[in-house]
A = this chain, B = another copy of it.
């Protein structure tokens, strides 16, 4: 009795018997093995490369002889000469089964391969993008069967790829006839199908089989910065990342001032919409140039953003978001074309997906964090804090997820700080103050050296020391407190009280001098009393939001804390806890997730199932409104101090004990009713 040869695929382990002469690609498809192919098995795209294994495979119960696959053929030979085929590789569409065989599908031949995220997170992205390339050969027109070119393309996609139903905008239809004839009736099409679509949409066409890759942008549209990752839509690789300041800052630093701008200025929302779209166009150009691609190759873009940015991006006046009940124009995910948003640098047919908003104050950025960090899949209670101009806060576990947004303002990003700046080369990002000498040492972005180490001056010669960024100001404030230069109420001491001439008088308050570059024409970098107050407000808002969610959940501690946000990765956990930015948690249970919103955007870009998932998850999140909740104000006021903490921080107390200093006997505010403090002459 003869049986057909056994074919075993690794790493999937899928196996089956196939008649002699079956192409490996055919066997893979019938078994549902994840083996790529763009040309549909014509031996021209080379995406279906496989590695046959020969010898004894007791694990699979197979002995593979060296005649198990057909001979190397002319198509493979030509491809090898033209582009080179790795040692041991075969083309799956050319090699046919001749005997029992074990075949490995290398990662680069897998469509749905996983992309390991760079950040230290457990979640990988499975590739299932909405846009893919297909090569097809279209029947030539026949006067006696008078179907249109589009209908014959549709027929070819059905016959060759089993794709049912396509649509094409006029921008494609107007070019289709030329491209089909130029490619001699062979064509590569980019087809987009969102998870809610019934038909595939043709978004780009190329004559013949194209060498072009296609890309997507994952854009985290923040109030202060716009960050974009350019991803290869075949494998999810982040090719380039880049960012720009949000030009809307000129209309207002924070969201509410932008809403006010819109209320006070007729057409103000249109101005802001135009500004942000222009900035995205500029960023797209920059990122395409950096990556060395043509912008039309960008065929998808995913946006995550807070509700105000969401509305301003879409061209919706955000005025309703400035007042109770904070009604969104639309809360669900939005899908449209690049041209609808005047995004005219990327492909005009690029398909845009904006994640759903959770509520009027908790946006698509929070949804993206939920997609990335998956609090609803966590067994222990996790607090996720995404720190930006607004803080998005999520608290939950498998039973329930809560969310709120807290208006921290831009202080954490270095804005509204006297020496503040964006995290860029030249910015002080780390700082330590010697508790005895009260002298600082610091590190500057662009160098790994501390300022008191040899070679520091040379290392920073090109950038200089230009300011202090978000993570730097947090460390500075915490270090000032640790060094006894700042009292629990947040007041900086005088030179007399602290014993260091680095405390400089400024009006009726004092500033701490970190670095004086004025001799070399550089800036004097100080932490002023105003800076301390800005950080106190920000950290109080953050803390109060988290506490409000804990109240709602009925808990007074959390199992773990995840710090996310553009600079979440850079915050020192120790310093954040000294400041009281976040509720108490064991130090080893506080982790950083990097730019979780951006990661969520990348996940949604690479995987349409993730879009369906987050749309469901968002509907299940309980949203807590900070603006109208009296307890928020209470928590906010209570969180203002930076108290002497020993008991609540057993882990922290082994590291540092905060001194119980006090500098204030009246009040430093100019309008305050307290008695005036002495001014230095």
Binding site for B on A (CB under 8 A): 140-144, 146-151, 168-170, 173-174, 176-178, 198, 314-317, 319-320, 324-332, 336, 340-341, 357-360, 362, 623, 625, 628
Contact = CB atoms under 8 A, between A and B. Distances in A.
Contacts of A143: 324-326, 360, 625, 628
A327 B170 contact: no
A151 B360 contact: no
Contacts of A362: 146
A150 B330 contact: yes
A176 B332 CA distance: 15
A315 B168 CA distance: 14
Contacts of A319: 177
Contact of A151 (B140, B317, B332): B332
B146 A331 contact: yes
Contact of A146 (B177, B178, B358): B358
B174 A330 contact: no
Contacts of A174: 314-317, 329
Contact of A327 (B148, B198, B328): B148
Contacts of A142: 325
Given A147-B331, A149-B330, A170-B314, 10 more contacts: A143-B324, A143-B360, A146-B331, A146-B362, A148-B328, A148-B357, A149-B329, A151-B331, A170-B316, A173-B330
A623 B315 CA distance: 48
Q: How often does this chain occur in the complex, in copies?
A: 2
A329 B174 CA distance: 8
Nearest to A319: B177
Contacts of A326: 141, 143, 146
A623 B330 CA distance: 49
Nearest to A181: B320
B314 A149 contact: no
A150 B625 contact: no
**Which of A144, A148, A174 counts the most chain B CB atoms within 10 A?**
A148
Nearest to A144: B625
B198 A150 contact: no
**Which of A140, A142, A146, A177 counts the most chain B CB atoms within 10 A?**
A146
A388 to B, nearest CB: 20
Contacts of A173: 314, 316, 329-330
B328 A146 contact: yes
Given A148-B328, A149-B330, A317 B625 contact: no
Given A177-B316, A340-B170, A327 B623 contact: no
A329 B146 contact: no
Contacts of A148: 327-332, 357
A173 B314 CA distance: 9
A340 to B, nearest CB: 6
Nearest to A328: B148
Contacts of A198: 198
Given A170-B314, A177-B317, A317-B177, A623 B328 contact: no
A582 to B, nearest CB: 25
Contacts of A178: 317
A316 B173 CA distance: 7
A324 B141 CA distance: 9
B177 A320 contact: yes
A360 B314 contact: no
Contacts of A625: 143-144, 146
Given A170-B340, A628-B143, A327 B149 contact: yes
Given A174-B316, A336-B170, A360 B328 contact: no
Closest 10 CB pairs of A and B: A146-B359, A141-B327, A148-B331, A148-B328, A148-B330, A150-B330, A143-B325, A141-B325, A143-B625, A174-B316
A341 B174 CA distance: 12
A150 B329 contact: yes
A329 B176 contact: yes
**Which of A170, A329, A332 counts the most chain B CB atoms within 10 A?**
A329
A595 B151 CA distance: 30
Given A177-B329, A320-B177, A331-B151, A315 B146 contact: no
Contacts of A341: 170
Nearest to A273: B174
Contacts of A358: 146
B327 A150 contact: no
A365 to B, nearest CB: 15
Given A143-B628, A198-B198, A320-B177, A315 B170 contact: yes
Contacts of A329: 148-150, 173-174, 176-177
A465 to B, nearest CB: 45
A194 to B, nearest CB: 12
Nearest to A623: B146
Given A340-B170, A360-B146, A625-B143, A151 B330 contact: yes
